[in-house]
A and B are shown apart, each in its own frame.
Chain A
Amino acid sequence: MSRIAKEYGDIQKTLASNDPIVNPYQGLIESLNPIDETDLSKWEAIIIGPTHTPYEHYRFRILIDVPSSYPMAPPNIRFDRNNILHCNIKSPTGEICLDILKPEDWTPVWDLLHCVHAIWRLLKEPVYDSPLDVDMGNIIRCGDTGAYQGIIRYFLAERDRNICR
C-alpha cells in the first residue's frame, strides 16, 4: 500500500475524531479529502481562518497536487485563485511561499495534515521578510498593521459578496 493511501486512512480517522489528543486540528482544518476517491493525486482541504486575524470566520479552500514521487518530493499546494490576500501568497494564482513546501527544504516525514496545518499557521503568523505579495509585504514592513488587516478584511468581504451574487 502506498504511503498516500495509508495517509488517507489516517487522515479520515484523525479528522473524524472529537478527542483533541487524536484530532488536534479541530477548529483549524475542516476537511482534507481527495477530490475524486479513485485518484489520490488531487486533494482539497478547507481550513478555518485563525481567530484574532482578519481571516477569522472565513473558510479557505486549498488545492493539493500529490506528485508520484511523494513523499520524496513535496506536494504542490495552492489556494483557490483570487481567494485570499496574504503577504506570503500570490493572490491571483493562489501560490504559497512556505519554506517546507520547497523541494530543498521538504522532508518525507511531513504528511499532508502537517502541510495543511503549516499553511493554517502561515495565516496566523505571516512571514514578513520573504513576501510573495510585495505590496502587502511592504505595508506590513512599514509597521502599518491596521492598513494590512483592513485591506484583507475588505478583500474578503468583497470576495464573499461576489460569491453571494
Chain B
Amino acid sequence: MGDELHNRLLKQSDGTKDAILYKIIESLVCSICHDYMFVPMMTPCGHNYCYGCLNTWFASNTQKELACPQCRSDIVIIPALNTTLQQYLSFILDRLGSEDDEPFKKLLITKIKEEDDYKLDKEKDTLFEKVFKNSALAVADDSDDGITRCSNCHWELDPDEVEDGNVCPHCNARIRNYAGGHNEFDEEEYSEGELDEIRESMQRPRENRLASANPFANRDNFSSEEDSSTEEELMREHIPQGRWARSHNRSIAVDTSDDEDDEDELEEGEEEMDSDLKDFIEDDDDGDEDGSRRNMVLSALNSRRVIITDDEEEEGQRHITGEEEDHDSDFYEHNDEGFASGDSLDEDRKVVAEVQSSSDSEDRSISYPSSNDVGEKDEHDTEELDDPQPKRQKRFRVVLGDSDDE
C-alpha cells in the first residue's frame, strides 16, 4: 500500500514525471510575491505564503482583520512554518544547483537572507511584528450573554462601530477575526413560524420603499419571479447582522420593528382598534345608566393599554440600558457575571484563582499562558461554547495572558 505510488512513478514516461515535478515546484511559489517560498508559513486554513509576504500583508492595513489572501478566512492563530515545503525546496536547490551559476547564486543569497530574517524574529519572539500578541479576538459566549466582545478588554463590539476598522473601540486592539456585521441570514437559526413572521413583516416596507425609491417602478411590471427573488435579498438586508444582533436575545419582532414604516403601521393599527372600541363603549353607555359596565370595559381597555405601553417602555428602556452599558464599566464590576473591565483585573485574578482551585485545572490557571499560547487559547475560546463554566475561566485566562504580555 505505502509504496504503490512510488512504484507507479518509476514506470511513468518522462513527460508524466516532468508534469508531476513541475506541479510540485509550482506549489513552492508564493501567490503573493510569485517567488519561491524559502520560509513557507502555513495559515490555519492551509494556505502557504513567504514569511515576509504574509508579514507585509498583515501590516499593510492595520485597521483590518487578519485574513487569508487566498480564501479570506480569518487567521486567528499564528501561521506555522511549513517544514515539509521548506525541505522540498532545499532538496531541489541541492540537486539543481551549481556554484558558478549567477542567477542560482542570487537564489541562494535570498534563501539565506529570508531564513535569517525568520530566525531572528523567532528568537526575539517578534514573529509577524507581534501582531498575534498585540491583537484581540471578537468572542461571543452564547452560554453567557452571547454578545460579541473584545477578548482583550471585554468591551462590547458593536458591528456597526467596528465596520470601518476592525479595531476594538475601547482598548484600540486590532481584532484578528472579522467583527463587523455579516450580512448573512441563517435560516436554520429560526423556527418555521418565526421565518413566516419575518417574511411577512418585511414584505410591506420593502414594497413601499421600492415604489418610492424607484422612479421607474411600475407595479404592473413586477413579475412574481422578481418579487420572490427580492424577498430573499431583503432578508439579508434586514435581519440582524450576523451573530451579534441575533445573540442579543431580542425577539425578531423587535429587530424588524426598527424599520420605521413598520412601527408606524403598528401604531396606526392600535389607534384604529382603540377608536373602534370607544365607539362601541359609547353606544353601550347610552343604555347603561350607572356606567359600571363602561368602567369595566374602560379598565379592560386601560389594562390593555398598559400592556402596550409597557412593551414600548420596555423596548425604550432596553435601548437606554443598552446605551448605558456601553459607557458604564462599573456596571460589570458590580454585576460581575464574567466580565472584566480593564482596571479590575487584579480582583478578577483572585476570583479566577478561587473559582479554578475548585476545578481540576488549577495548575493551568496559575501558570499563566505563555504569550505564544494566547492565540491558541482564544481559538478554543470560540470553539468550546457548549460548556459555560470552563469557558468563562478560559476567558479570564485570555485576559490575564494578554495583560501579562504588556
Contact = CB atoms under 8 A, between A and B. Distances in A.
A2 to B, nearest CB: 9
Contact of A109 (B69, B215, B221, B222): B69
Contact of A3 (B33, B60, B70, B72): B33
Nearest to A5: B34
Contact of A108 (B32, B35, B215, B233): B32
Contacts of A142: 214, 216-218, 221
Interface string A8-49: 001000000000000000000000000000000000000000
Nearest to A140: B216
Interface string A66-77: 000101110000
Q: Which of B34, B70, B217 has the most CB of A within 10 A?
A: B34
A149 interface: no
B60 A141 contact: no
Interface in B221-255: 221-223, 226, 233
B64 interface: yes
B218 A72 contact: no
B216 A73 contact: no
A127 to B, nearest CB: 12
Contacts of B214: 138, 141-142
A21 to B, nearest CB: 12
How extensive is the interface on chain A, given as a class? 20 to 34
Contacts of B201: none
A14 to B, nearest CB: 13
Interface in B304-362: none
A129 B230 CA distance: 10
Nearest to A4: B34
Contacts of A138: 214-216
Contacts of B57: 72, 108
Q: Is the interface of B mostly helix, strand, loop or mixed?
A: loop
A21 B262 CA distance: 55
A141 B215 CA distance: 11
B223 A72 contact: no
A10 B35 CA distance: 12
B61 interface: yes
Interface string B46-72: 000000010011001100100101101
Contact of A71 (B32, B72, B215, B223): B32
Q: Which of A107, A108, A143 has the most CB of B within 10 A?
A: A108
A7 B233 CA distance: 38
B31 interface: yes
Given A129-B233, A138-B216, A107 B61 contact: no
Contact of A107 (B69, B216, B217, B222): B69
Contacts of A129: 233
A143 B221 contact: yes
B109 to A, nearest CB: 13
Interface string A45-62: 000000000000000000
A104 interface: yes
Contacts of A109: 31-32, 69-70
A3 B34 contact: yes
Contacts of B53: 108
Nearest to B47: A109
Nearest to A104: B64
Nearest to B32: A108
Contacts of A73: 60
Q: Which of A69, A71, A72, A109 has the most CB of B within 10 A?
A: A109
A158 interface: no
B226 A143 contact: yes
B223 A69 contact: no
Nearest to A141: B214
B57 to A, nearest CB: 6
Nearest to A10: B34
A103 B69 CA distance: 13
B56 A72 contact: yes
Nearest to A129: B233
Interface of A: 1, 3, 6-7, 10, 69, 71-73, 103-104, 107-109, 111, 129, 138-139, 141-144
Interface of B: 31-35, 53, 56-57, 60-61, 64, 67, 69-70, 72, 214-218, 221-223, 226, 233
29 contacts: A1-B35, A3-B32, A3-B34, A6-B35, A7-B34, A69-B60, A71-B32, A72-B56, A73-B60, A104-B64, A107-B69, A107-B70, A107-B72, A108-B32, A108-B57, A109-B32, A109-B69, A109-B70, A111-B34, A129-B233, A138-B216, A139-B216, A141-B214, A142-B214, A142-B216, A143-B221, A143-B222, A143-B223, A143-B226
- Top 9 A-B pairs ranked by shortest CB distance? A72-B60, A107-B69, A142-B216, A109-B31, A108-B32, A109-B69, A6-B34, A108-B69, A109-B70
